[in-house]
Amino acid sequence: MTGFSIAVQGAVGTLDERARRVLFARTSASDPAIRDRTARIIDTVRADGDDALIRYAAEFDGVALEALEVPRAVWRTALDATAPELQRVLERAAANIRQVHEAFRPLAREVVTADGVVIGRRPDPLGRVGVYAPGGRAAYPSSLLMGVIPARVAGVDEVVVCSPPGPDGLPSGVLMAAAELAGADRLFAVGGAGAIAALAYGTATIPPVDRIVGPGNAYVAEAKAQVSSVTAIDSPAGPSELLIIADGSASPDVVTRELLAQAEHDPMTAVVLVSTSSPLLDAVAQRLAEWTPGEPRADVIAAAFAARGALLLADSLDEAIAFSNRWAPEHLLIATGAPDTVLPRVRNAGTVFVGETAAVAFGDYMSGANHVLPTGGLSRAYSGLSTIDFYRWTTWQRIGRVAAAALANDVGTFADAEGLPAHAASARQWRAGAR
């Protein structure tokens, strides 16, 4: 590894335009080459279906698939073959995810807006959803659990999973074990943009779904964006992000470990520390330079800090919080002496870790909160994956005869103002004495 450097250092209030671009230009929008290639893959899968997926498996994954679907018995065998300690950990994570998502299920409600006027809204589970579980260079059973279990909790009729095949033509064993534990219905050894196209449009083997969720590489993210007019998707996602708000009470060792843990995800990961303490920033900078060379993923970490890493000094906690709300991170860690006073003031974050003992890794794997989160500043408008993403809402209205008479004249006046006389007549037929 070459010398370690950090993309941006300085005071929040004095950042120049270049520094701001480095920090804020982190959307998931792909370059034209990725957009065009993804569009071609989608069009080919729409036209050729399973045959296209088999060709792409040979081209991208280097495997000759005999079948796209993985039989259920193979999942069960994979679970049985999983080391007992890992199986116990998977089961614990699954139980926590299930408990959290059961607690936040939405409820049907009715409200009376006037005498005789009742409006209701009911959450109805989706019919079929697709969960994408990344594979390739690394398998992420945690992401599979985060997608499948909330769908099951919501009562989705059918949950199908796509994940890239390995050299043996199957997704990784731990991922198949997680699919069995989570209660998925079907599993397909299909990855990349082709999998997203298949889930959106359907093939002879893979059924089309009502919503696609789960993280993936740039091609997967682009494919989800391109099919979003056909099927719903979760929040757009790009490289991972962490922002830490810290004061002088924070441990430089803890803060440094958190930054390193997030930076090892990807060379495009964004890792930012905003602190009111100059000594803390200096201590963290020193530790990053000293510790990074010894990390197994040192090259990835160094690339992330050189591209989108920042150590910033804030004049006050107010300034640090304001910066966080503008930057809108995927993960926010509050490492201050009184983190609970900061939490209510946080507006835009995918998930917030309150206090320095709330390591982000706990949320990635075990706390039960969902780790499928918006990135690129999109937490200003999007939320993390939850049971809500697996429902659509049915609204109903009850308007009795007395209520209809009371509404008739006002609705008629409104409709006249919009130049819709048939609307006005439809309302006025219910005036008192009109029938």
What residues are labeled active site? 330-331
Pick the closest to residue 250 from 281, 288, 287 (CA basis). Answer: 281
Report the C-alpha gap between 80 and 194 in whole angstroms.
30
Handedness of CA 245, 251, 254, 256 (dihedral sign): positive
CB 45: neighbour CB atoms within 10 A?
A: 29
DSSP letter for 69, please.
Answer: B
Pairing of strands 117-125, 391-399: antiparallel
What are the angstrom distances between the C-alpha of 23 and each of 27, 246, 317, 377? 11, 18, 19, 10
Pick the closest to residue 356 from 429, 432, 268, 284 (CA basis). Answer: 284
Q: In what order do the strands lie in the sheet with 128-132?
A: 186-188, 158-162, 128-132, 211-213, 232-233
Backbone φ and ψ for 370, nearest 5 degrees, come out as -80, 140
Helical segments of 6-112, H only? 17-24, 32-48, 50-56, 72-81, 84-103
Pairing of strands 109-114, 117-125: antiparallel
Handedness of CA 370, 164, 235, 21 (dihedral sign): positive
- DSSP three-state, residue 399: strand
Query: Could you tell me the two tokens for 207?
Result: 């059924």
Report the C-alpha gap between 155 and 125 in whole angstroms.
6
Residue length, the chain?
435
CB 168: neighbour CB atoms within 10 A?
A: 10
